[in-house]
Amino acid sequence: MPEYKLPDVGEGLTEAEIVTWRVAVGDTIAVNDVIVEIETAKSIVELPSPYAGEVTALLVAEGDTVTVGTPIIAIGAAEAAAAAPAPAPEPAAASAGPPRAAAPIDTNVPPAGNPTLVGYGPKQRELRRRARVAVPVADAPVAEAPVATAASTRVLAKPPVRKLARDLGVDLAGIAGSGPEGRVTRDDVQAAASGVVPPAAASAASAAVPASVGERETREPIKGVRKQMATAMVGSAFTAPHVTEWVTVDATATVELVERLKARRDFAEVRVSPLLVAARATLLALRRHPLLNSTWDEAAQEVVLKHYVNLGIAADTPRGLVVPNVKDADALDLLGLARALEALTGTAREGRTQPAELAGGTFTITNVGVFGVDAGTPIINPGESAILCLGAIRPQPWVVGDQVVPRKVMTLAVSFDHRHIDGATGSRFLADVAGIIEDPATALLY
């Protein structure tokens, strides 16, 4: 019978965590039905099935991390045969042998109305699988490996909540959810834990630390997005010599512009905020200072100038920091940019950002102002040369002419790679961004 192997969904994926099975043993599935959610180093991805048939075994449990090429599900051929012309009947004696494998279906041409998502089934090149003992879930004791539950009886909980429950050793099936439609929340899981050390953490702690310490500490594995973030930030901080500069600017005109845009009919269905104006100001300033939209190629000892801007927006999510980017943001008008930013940040918060949306960024904006923070020294996103940090907008006394008046004030900070961007270039870029935020009408000069 065919086994669906964990595919590389993009960007050189080497492993992924099985977050949630969408099917159970005995379910009948069609080609492109979503069968599982996996968490890669960058995002949560839904994998569709390249086969039609009956699920005969789930080979990996929820919460397990497996390498690319590892079989994760076995699918029988009963329904797969219906997708192709029926073969001639075989002798009865043949029925005693193993079931025939379902022929893989070309997912590059998906059925109408059911587009292929990501993941294209097993590759032609076989990968070595990790040594393990695979027990079909149907035969495994429920208490030892609760891999999946039928969709009709599955506990409603988001992937981060399921992860928290696994880490705390809490059985979701025994919790009455307090969220919408009975969904289990983080508070529900933490309440169920009642301060008890998770079994896995307790066993690990007992072998290395006194019990009194183990009762006061828990350990959480670093994996997925958080592991990728840690690796990327360390690599960036100790590879590119960072320089950070700040400027404090009167953003009153930007705040007023935001209010006017909100009142416009064409902006009524999109979220408008100072981030939109800052993003537009950044794109305009990059036209004058393209070095901040470049890449340092260490191997070739060259600076690669990008004649497009894939604008990244650092987004805080339950799984960690991710930086999806708007492709060709410099080609969008203000309304198009507003729509793109809204879609990008909304998808990121839901944990549904796809690997392609995280790749290829050329410049990043991080907005710490949403947390009430005034400024910061951001670390450059790997593969880029600069990052802009937006601080909180606060009413402050400001000198206008000869008078001190209350104004809306914010701090901007830019970090850049000092290997090829000197202080003068970085300063001019920051001054241009600040000038547009202080007087958005100056954007007409760009």
Residues 20 and 131: beta-carbon distance below 8 Å: no
Q: What are phi and psi of 259, to 5 degrees?
A: -65, -35
The question of whether 242 is a catalytic residue gets the answer no
Place of tokens 């305009």: 284
Sorted by sequence, the CB contacts under 8 Å of residue 413 that are 6+ apart come out as 244, 245, 246, 247, 375, 376, 377, 378, 388, 389, 391
Write the CA distances from 23 to 6, 101, 146, integer angstroms. Answer: 16, 20, 13
Integer-rounded Cα Rg, in Å, for the chain is 26
Q: What single-letter amino acid sits at 98?
A: P
Residue of 242, 289, 418, 420 with catalytic role: 418
Nearest-angstrom CA–CA distance, 225 and 227: 5
Residues 286 and 363: beta-carbon distance below 8 Å: yes
Q: What are phi and psi of 142, to 5 degrees?
A: -60, -35
- SS3 call for 125: coil
Q: What single-letter amino acid sits at 247?
A: V
Q: What single-letter amino acid sits at 329?
A: A
Which residues lie across from 75 on neighbouring strands? 55
Two tokens, residue 93: 């004696």
Q: Which residues are catalytic?
A: 418
